Structure 1
Amino acid sequence: MKESLADKARAFLFSLLLHGVLIGLIALGLMWTTATRTVVMPGPVIEASLVGPTSAPKPTSRKASARTERPKPTPPPPKVVEEKPKPDSVPPLEPLKQDLIDQQRVAAMAEQKADEARKEQEEKRRREQILLEQEKQEAARQKELEQVRKQLADAEKKKNLEKERLKQLQDKRLADQQQAEKERMDELLEQESRQAQTGGGGEDTDLTARYAAAIQAAVTQNWNRPESIPAGLRCTLLIVQIPGGDVISANVTSPCNADPAARLSIEQAVMRAAPLPYRGYEKVFSREITFNFKYDGQG
């Protein structure tokens, strides 16, 4: 772990404070220690020596000895003068206290700055942690959103595939229906052709066939044919009429290879053609007739 500048400053201040305390303790110890001095007696040194004969004196009378020998006075004892110890060069206590207070103040300020730096580092780490958590949450939301988008895209793709498959089925079904209607229409046309022709010269002598041809002509004359209808149209019409040829209803039924717009135009043509041919066809008249409408590109 790399040591920060704040940690170095705090270690330096602690070392400085420790040295200051040690110096203060040494100074206090010097102040409390009393120096031992040697006591010197004032005055000259006295030396004593014996003068005269060293042999024992001759005995004399008591009176003579009493007159001649007098006791010498005893000198007074020398006065002992105590020498005051010179004050050592000890620094005063007050500056040491002030230095200690200053050192403590500096140490407290350094500690406060270190605490502030530590709190700032902790706050910075906390903000970084918050930012990291927010980034993680944002990444999780983006991932979830991406999954939702993917699910929607898959669902849309599946829906499109279902639509395409359904359209193919519908197209196939419609093609099958059209093919079946075409085959049925061809069969009806073949039957109609056999009924409309005779065996002697091919003249139309059948009243039913002539009645059907008259209705076909009347409806075709009143038909507003859409431009989109191709040749080869074949549709079966169910017509309900009353005597005289007035049409009650006209509906296109199967088989029919026309679209809804073409079917509607054929039904409207039947209604406009009313009254349908009647005079001369009373024998073959019917209230409900099934009429095969066709268009081969002529007219």
Structure 2
Amino acid sequence: MHAEALRQHEVKDDLATPVLMAVALHVAIVVVLLLAGWWQPMPKMVSVAGPVVEASLVVSPADVRAAEQTAAEAPKPAEVEPIEAAPPPQPLPAPQPQTAEEQIQPEPQEAQPEPAPVDQEAVARLALEQQQAKEREEQEAKRRQEQIDLTEREKQAEAERKQRLRAQLEEIRKEREAAERRTKMEEQRLQQLADAQARPAPTPQPAPAAPAGGNNGTDTDLAARYALAMHQTADAAWNRALAPERVPCKVRFTQIPGGEVINVQFLSCGFDDQARESVERALRRGPMPYAGFEPVFSRQIDLTFCHPQEACPR
């Protein structure tokens, strides 16, 4: 359609030129005819030899009337009919803009072969196989995730079990070390006791004239002052920071003459291991009071550790 429109437009352009030339020729002919009716050639001047003769035309009234009558009787010239001018050329129609459908002509497509008939059963079977494969993949992914979760839980449980085992082993190691220390200390005390028994007993010295220290009480008995001296010595060497407040700890220690402690036994004590070790170190730090208290010397002494003393049961 686009090519046909172009051909029509070219044919119109070929006809427009001769038509315009014909119209221009007719207009030129009309102009020449009009000018020929209006224009008359000027008379030529004739040169005659001789002097110029002046003459005047004398016309009588009879001549005038005869001329007027002749003119009236003369036939009138035929009126010239005006030549109709050729009609102006009609303007050529403006080319119409071509629409998108006219401008873009789709190329003829080759005939597509008819599709083969679809096997509905094969399509349904393929869809079912794909669905089953997808379900198997989802189940396999779920199984793998469950296996991973189970493995992680087993690893966490194993780590917790190992941590508990390490804590138990550490506790056993500490108890074993403490038992070994106690065994060595018992052996040392037994050896010291054996050595003390092998040595002769020291000669008792007379009591000093100065009054023995007390706690501002009214009991002047030597045994009471001996017990007070024992308690003050042990309390001064005891580290209270490791023991809980208002919790009593009753111990029984064994000493040899001279005040050296060779054995410590906890009778009823609410302290932990560290607090108990602090009590034992306080008793073994130095010799217990002995000089001046020989008459009331006792190999086994019971003491109660507690702080603050004013808040502890008596």
TM over 0.5: no
* Normalised TM-score (structure 1): 0.36
State which structure, 1 or 2, has the greater radius of gyration over its C-alpha atoms.
Answer: 2
Which TM-score applies when normalising by structure 2? 0.35
